[in-house]
Amino acid sequence: MPEMIFYSKPVVLNKGIHKNLKIANRPIHYGFAAQTNSVMLTGGEFIESAKEYPVVFVRTAERIVPAVLLGLREAENLFVDPDGRWESRYIPAFVRRYPFVPSVDAESDAMTVCIDESFPGFVTSGEGAPLFDDQEEPSLLLQNAIQFLLTFQEQIARTDIFVNRLDELGLFVELSARADLVNGQQYAMKGFLVVDEQKILGLDTVKAMELFRCGELGWIYAHLFSLSNMGRLVDLLARRTAR
């Protein structure tokens, strides 16, 4: 699941180059996310996400990551309408951090802030929230964005521990499901992992208590609860194909 999935022109934020950049005072247009059917999720987002989206796990070349499913077809997000509005209450943090994105040094863990220069919300004139103040120091908007990125990176590290624990306990199974639309179209959902509840119930008391005490059992059951939202994706797709 590419880290730079939304970013057409990612560059390091530089106050010498970007000191006049502002974010225009207008609603966010989510067209940048309209062609992705899943995004990375952190464990702390499971409960809110489970109310609206299916939460699954994806095995990448490097690791297993949690993700929310946003669509059933390639390059289609069923939660972004033609006008760029996000049609759901909770928006994943992976989406909300745009147009900012961190670049983390693998050795030192130092974080550099990058932006997508192609973001249409950037302006240099007219009304807007500046990235830098008159002294060329980070504005409140940029300070908040940096803190958001730092918190997001911390949550990713915490989530990796959670997912590794599930993997070591052998709790993952492959999801095998099919979506059938009333018009006869079928969509197979492959390549995703889910937690097997029977394997959780089979854990010994010590391991089960560890999951409970660190709060991860709640995340697991939020994930399992969220799978009922597969039906919502089918309904949204059927509505879209009927237009």
Residue type for 189, please?
M
Q: How confident is the model at residue 1 (pLDDT cuts 50, 70, 90)?
A: very low
Contact 140, 146 (CB under 8 A): no
pLDDT over threshold 80, residue 177: no
Separation in Å, CA 133 to CA 18, 30, 138: 11, 27, 6
Dihedral of alpha carbons 149, 155, 159, 160, sign: positive
CA 188 – CA 78 distance, rounded (Å): 16
In the chain, the percentage of residues whose pLDDT exceeds 90 is 74
Q: How confident is the model at residue 183 (pLDDT cuts 50, 70, 90)?
A: low
**pTM over cut 0.85:** yes
Q: How confident is the model at residue 83 (pLDDT cuts 50, 70, 90)?
A: very high
Separation in Å, CA 171 to CA 4, 105, 200, 214, 216: 29, 32, 7, 17, 13
User: Could you tell me what percentage of the chain is helix, strand and coil, using 3-state DSSP and rounding each to the nearest 5?
Assistant: 35, 25, 40
CA 50 – CA 5 distance, rounded (Å): 23
Angle at 177 between CA 90 and CA 85, to 5 degrees: 25
Report cis status (omega within 30 of 0) of the bond before 54: no
pLDDT over threshold 80, residue 178: no
Separation in Å, CA 87 to CA 30, 82, 90, 201: 10, 11, 9, 36
pLDDT tens per residue across span 139-163: 999 999 999 999 999 999 999 999 9
pLDDT tens per residue across span 22-78: 999 988 999 999 999 999 999 999 999 999 999 999 998 889 999 999 998 889 999
Q: How confident is the model at residue 240 (pLDDT cuts 50, 70, 90)?
A: confident
Residue type for 102, please?
P
Give me the pLDDT at residue 184, please.
Answer: 64
pLDDT tens per residue across span 184-235: 677 667 789 999 999 999 999 999 999 999 999 999 999 999 999 998 998 8
CA 6 – CA 116 distance, rounded (Å): 8
